[in-house]
Structure 1
């Protein structure tokens, strides 16, 4: 699996775990690492405590690779191959429901928005194609993309 494929898998796994309260959070380790793994685990643990669940599917409307760096000179210091990917996602089909089944999504939510993902491979030497994980994510202030 390359970095771009991993991005699609990342959103699918987040959807699946968000929808199924019994899905093991350890599945996140297949698609996320570092700060992003910690953030997603904490978010989903809080959802479960609050009785929330996700419905629908996140769609990727646009995916653009912004940069690729294959520097693997010092993995212990974080110098690992990285791919910066900008993603416009569409959540028009997604809802978040509380324990009573009521939506907790703000009516002002944008259904489409941009995120920049830092996809890293901390095991590049041993697994150059399959070791990619989303290590960091930031929301971008850009005009929403077209509907998917």
Structure 2
């Protein structure tokens, strides 16, 4: 799921004509809103991405399949730490100039909660990224 999430993000950042509804297949809840806001803001500013963000490492931290109260958000959730590599990524403005700071690290870690709000009807196909946050971890090796 997280590789697909990054594929969609790369696609949306590289081609602003792609519909933001692509996010509906990979994100839900606060993460969906956060990604929609990010892409709307970037598109208004006229920035786009070149290159691909790559998934370097996935580290499953916990699995909880409790589906006791989906309306309250108590749904099956997996916590995954992910290291990404942006060494081949540039973000350019409408004039083609890079807006990336020279001291940006090539790799970083994000902790994701991947949840399934449709567990009863689609236990395999309805996993979505529900939230994410940057975390401090020893850097992984760039690809």
TM-score higher than 0.5: yes
**Residue 11 of structure 1 aligns to a residue in which SS?**
helix
Counterpart Cα distance in 2 of 1:18 and 1:25: 10
| Residue 62 in structure 1 maps to residue 51 in structure 2 | no
Distance 1:107 1:30 in 2: 33
Distance 2:100 2:48 in 1: 11
3-state DSSP class of the match of 1:127? coil
Residue 5 (structure 2) pairs with residue 10 (structure 1): yes
SS at match of 1:119: strand
Aligned residue for 2:133, secondary structure, equals strand
1:147 — aligned with what? Answer: 142
Aligned pairs, number: 143
| Cα distance per residue 1:44-95 (max 9 Å; x no partner) | 0011101111111111111011110000010000000000000000000111
Q: Aligned to 1:92, what secondary structure does the other structure show?
A: coil
Structure 1: runs of 5 or more not aligned: 1-5
Does residue 100 of the first structure (1) align with residue 95 of the second (2)?
Answer: yes
Q: Which runs of 5+ in 2 are unaligned?
A: none
State how far apart, in whole Å, the 2-side matches of 1:14 and 1:128 are. 24
Name the CA distance, whole Å, in 2 between partners of 1:96 and 1:16. 13
Residue 116 of structure 2 corresponds to residue 121 of structure 1? yes
TM value normalised by structure 1: 0.95
SS in 2 for 1:116: strand
Task: Note if 1:29 corresponds to 2:24.
Answer: yes
Compute the RMSD of aligned alpha carbons.
Answer: 0.6
1:19 aligns with 2:14: yes
